[in-house]
Amino acid sequence: MLNNLKPQPADKILMLSSLFRADNRDTKIDLGVGVYKNAEGHTPIMRAVKKAEKQLWETEDTKTYTSLPGDAGFHKVMADMVLGDSVDRARLSACATPGGTGAIHNVCETILMANPDTTIWVSNPTWGNHLSIFKHLGLKFKTYNYFDAQTCAIDFNGMIASLQDVQPGDVVLLHGCCHNPTGANLNQTQWNEVADLIAAKAAIPFIDIAYQGFGDGLDDDAYGVRLLASKFPEMMIAASCSKNFGIYRERTGIVLAISADADAAKITQGTLAHLNRQNFSFPPDHGARLVTMVLSDPELRADWQAELEEVRTGMLVLRRKLADALRAETGSDRFGFIAEHRGMFSRLGLTEEQVMELRDTHAIYMVGDSRINIAGLNDANVTIIAKAVASVIA
């Protein structure tokens, strides 16, 4: 039986991490996978998370199962953080999942259970795993224009033009903030226009929000998701705690689903719990519990928010430094967009050949579409990277 299996395509982002580890050059620079790193290249455990973990170790007295959708306390703090007061909680269903990826997977399965013929619209480009999950589950998808490869900014007119073809009942997937892989984000006026258009098309929004707090701040980053939640009768959200709580390996995420009314929400809730049971039974609890503790304790929460803000503003400084260094090395403003983008990524607009040359000749690793992880920059490597980029585009 197993010899019938076909080789699967390697995930481009995760494969890059293995290639980086195998590279023996001590000058190598990792701008690949989206994991936060401090100036020393370390991914620290956030202060408040570490304190919560200590408290949990001292007070937790059982490891028995939680409930299928996970802990209600986690649902509450996450709904508050993501949605604020934009939607009546009676219409909300929530279900903890293994990371944001688990949430995306379960949302896609929910869509298929509701209507296996659904088409989901996704930005071109998007996080590679979105497409991979759609294909794996047999969910039909179409792409909408999003990014102008010349200016490395949003192609907003193109986006609106392609969304004209959305049909009633289609699902439109939007990145809540910090678009992955481009770093180019909708402003508030654009969010309003997109919301009106999707509403006019009678489509259902699905928001993937994996970097809340990394762009313009916790509340500003939730502008789009809250706007849509206040307008639409139905909507789905996949939220991740991997990045903003720095708990990547704990696999902590959540599905938040908004139904038309409280009765429909009960059925949605049951469906989400059912999907957890079919896929993995109970969701991981440790990370969810830490998030609940941090968000519920004013002192821990203040410390977490302060550290998240340090991370966010630190990345803005690094963006500015790289943009300045590239201006100095190339004598042009071609890369000025890096300072304007937000979140963990920017797409530099290099060719695959140039990306390969950066890897082979300069030991600089970025995803093949020239996406860089801003947190991989530091004072010591910014000029090196700028010189290398200038040399490959010369």
Catalytic residue list: 127, 208, 210, 243
Regarding 13 and contact with ligand LMR (CB under 6 A), the answer is yes
Regarding 16 and contact with ligand LMR (CB under 6 A), the answer is no
**Least separation in angstroms between CB 20 and ligand LMR:** 13
Regarding 33 and contact with ligand LMR (CB under 6 A), the answer is yes
Q: Are 83 and 221 in contact (CB under 8 A)?
A: no
Compute the distance between CA of residue 128 and CA of residue 108 in angstroms, rounded to an integer: 15
**Least separation in angstroms between CB 86 and ligand LMR:** 25
**Least separation in angstroms between CB 33 and ligand LMR:** 4
Regarding 31 and contact with ligand LMR (CB under 6 A), the answer is no
**Least separation in angstroms between CB 136 and ligand LMR:** 15
Q: Are 109 and 137 in contact (CB under 8 A)?
A: yes
- Nearest CA to 236 among 104, 119, 122, 81? 104
Mask 111-150, x = binds ligand LMR (CB under 6 A)?
----------------x-x---------------------
- Environment class of residue 27 by beta-carbon count within 10 Å: exposed (0-12), middle (13-18) or buried (19+)? exposed
Q: Are 375 and 35 in contact (CB under 8 A)?
A: yes
Regarding 287 and contact with ligand LMR (CB under 6 A), the answer is no
Regarding 180 and contact with ligand LMR (CB under 6 A), the answer is yes
**Among the listed residues 29, 30, 31, 34, the single contact to ligand LMR using CB under 6 A:** 34
Compute the distance between CA of residue 38 and CA of residue 273 in angstroms, rounded to an integer: 37
- Nearest CA to 82 among 242, 286, 255, 231? 255
Residues in the chain, overall count: 394
Between 119 and 182, CB nearer to ligand LMR: 182
> Does a cis peptide bond (omega within 30 degrees of 0) precede residue 298?
no
Between 128 and 349, CB nearer to ligand LMR: 128
Q: Which residue is nearest to ligand LMR (CB)?
A: 34
What tokens were used for 326?
Answer: 């590239």
Q: Are 74 and 291 in contact (CB under 8 A)?
A: yes
Binding site for ligand LMR (CB under 6 A): 13, 33-34, 127, 129, 180
